[in-house]
Amino acid sequence: MSGHSKWSTIKRKKEANDQKKGAAFTKLVKAISVAVKTDGGPDPETNFKLRLAIDKAKSASMPLSNIENAIKKASGDSKDNSQIEEILYEGYSVAKVAIIAEALTDNRNRTAAEIRHVFSKHGGNLGAAGCVGWMFDPRGFIMIPATADQQDDLCLGLMEMPIENLEQTEDGIEITTTVENFEPVKKQLEDQSIKYSDAELIMIPQTTVEINDPKLAKQILNLIEALEDNEDIQNVYANFDIPQEILERIAE
């Protein structure tokens, strides 16, 4: 499991409080709204990006009524004429760790200034478009919760699917696929009644930077958390790899 994936697992456990959950729901509603307005309407069967946004909302335990209301509001006549853009911000943290932040914003100048400040405050640098994007590949990611006893049998069935990589962890089975095979694999899982807790398109680093210094690790994670706390940032990806024991010590 990559350092960022390990950190994401710990972070989900830390975000159980209502304030964090409310902020996450606000971002998910924005993603649903943008998908409806700009990518093909309110039907998830024909709107791939909306389908992804709904899956992510369900993974975050957003109530179905909230999801339905977000779709209904976005597909109706709205007096909100603001134009929301999808923008990638790229840069470096300390130790030359590459970072990509995906944003949905109605004011690119405001968001760019805020993101530049976050990078600078935590010892990093916001770079030009494309400066680190070439270090990452788009992939499908699916998490199947499973105990150690369940995993071996599940893996046998999964090997018949067009999966690029499969990794067994203490929380379950992590699957990565090509973007093209993401939906087919999801459908096969659903057809076989195999439940997954997370399914989304992500950016996976081609190589990672190993961080063994707890001070540097904390500085990197503080930068990522600050980016994730920004209301316009939807996702953050990085190419660090921090040992589990250091991650757990930092998260305490």
CB neighbour class for 13 (10 Å; exposed up to 12, middle 13-18, buried from 19): exposed
Question: Is the pLDDT score of 45 beyond 60?
Answer: yes
For the four alpha carbons of 14, 20, 24 and 27, in that order, the dihedral sign comes to negative
Check whether 15 has a pLDDT greater than 60.
no
pLDDT for residue 195: 94
* Listed range (98-102, 132-136, 246-250) with the worst mean pLDDT: 246-250
pLDDT reported for residue 116? 98
Q: Do domains 85-134+207-251 and 135-205 have the same CATH topology?
A: yes
Domain 3-75 indexed as CATH 1.10.10.200: yes
Out of 18-27, 142-151, 222-231, least confident range: 18-27
Mean pLDDT of the chain: 90
**Separation of alpha carbons 207 and 3, rounded Å:** 11
- Model confidence at 14, pLDDT cuts 50, 70, 90, reads low
Terminal CA-CA length for the chain? 20
Pick the CATH number of 135-205 from 3.30.70.980, 3.20.10.10, 3.40.50.720, 3.40.309.10: 3.30.70.980
Query: Which three-class secondary structure state does DSSP give residue 181?
Result: helix
Give the domain 85-134+207-251 fold: Alpha-Beta Plaits (3.30.70)
Distance CA 225, CA 122 (A): 11
Confidence of residue 143 (pLDDT cuts 50, 70, 90): very high
Q: Which of 9-13, 101-105, 245-249 has the highest mean pLDDT?
A: 101-105
Dihedral pair phi/psi, residue 172, rounded to 5°: 150, -150
What is the structure's pLDDT at 1?
A: 45
Reported pTM: 0.88
Domain ranges of the chain: 3-75, 85-134+207-251, 135-205
User: What are the φ and ψ backbone dihedral angles of 199, each rounded to 5 degrees?
Assistant: -150, 115
Q: In the structure, what pLDDT confidence band is assigned to residue 7 with cuts at 50, 70 and 90?
A: low
> How does DSSP classify residue 106?
S
| Higher-pLDDT residue of 191, 2 | 191
Q: What is the structure's pLDDT at 76? A: 79
Where is mean pLDDT largest: 44-53, 74-83, 113-122, 153-162? 113-122
Higher per-residue pLDDT: 125 or 75:
125
Give tens-digit pLDDT for 67-118.
Answer: 999 999 888 755 565 688 899 999 999 999 999 999 999 999 999 999 999 9
**In Å, how far from its chain's centre is CA 109?**
24
Question: Biggest alpha carbon distance in the chain?
Answer: 54
Say which range, 18-32, 98-112, 150-164, has the weakest mean pLDDT. Answer: 18-32
* pLDDT > 80? residue 3: no
